[in-house]
Structure 1
Amino acid sequence: MNDDQKKQALAAWYKLLNEPEIRMDVEEQYDELLKTADEMERIGLINSTEWRKLVKEAGTAFAKAIEGVDGGT
């Protein structure tokens, strides 16, 4: 595993988390975050613990975004 590749991949993942692409809705952003985390684990850039952390962060962001769209309870 190349540390530079890992840093670049994680930086891109967090950029997508914090700055979704224009015209990307919340579900598309969430799906892309999960796909990217899966791919990083598949090719060995991250381990399963790191993968779970990313998935949890994506889920938290998705839940917050949905809550904001729906106005909360």
Structure 2
Amino acid sequence: MSDDRKERALLAWRKLLEDPKIRMNAEAHYNELLKAADELERNGIIDSGEWRKLVREAGTAFTNAKEGLGGGT
């Protein structure tokens, strides 16, 4: 798997995490982030350590959205 493919896939995941144009509730956003991270790992684009990092970031975004710290999605 090329580094370029991995970089593009992680950029797409990060866009899903950070894009303010995405309008869904916090739970749906969290679930989409987890599904995307699972797919990256399943396809061998990331390893389990990288998967855990993405899941932690998704959890932080979820918590911030639920508490109103990140302004929601």
The normalised TM-score by structure 1 is 0.86
Q: Which has the larger radius of gyration?
A: 1
Structure 1, unaligned runs of 5 or more? none
- Confirm or deny that 1:49 pairs with 2:49: yes
Between the aligned partners of 1:27 and 1:19, the Cα distance in structure 2 is: 16
State, as a whole percentage, how many aligned pairs show the same letter: 64
Output one character per residue of 1:13-69: Cα deviation in whole Å (capped at 9) or x when no partner.
Answer: 111111155432211111110000000000100000000000000001100110118
* Contact kept? 2:37, 2:51, Cα under 8 Å: yes
- Equivalent residues in 2 for 1:7-26, closer than 5 Å: 7-26=7-26
Is residue 60 of structure 2 the alignment partner of residue 60 of structure 1?
Answer: yes
CA contact (8 A) 2:16 2:22 kept: no
Moved over 2 A (4+): 20-23
* Match of residue 4 from structure 2: 4
Across the two proteins, how many residue pairs are aligned to each other? Answer: 69
The answer to which structure has the higher helix fraction is: 1
Structure 2 segments unaligned to the other structure (5+ residues): none
Stretch deviating more after TM superposition (51-60 or 1-10): 1-10
Q: Secondary structure at the match of 1:23?
A: coil
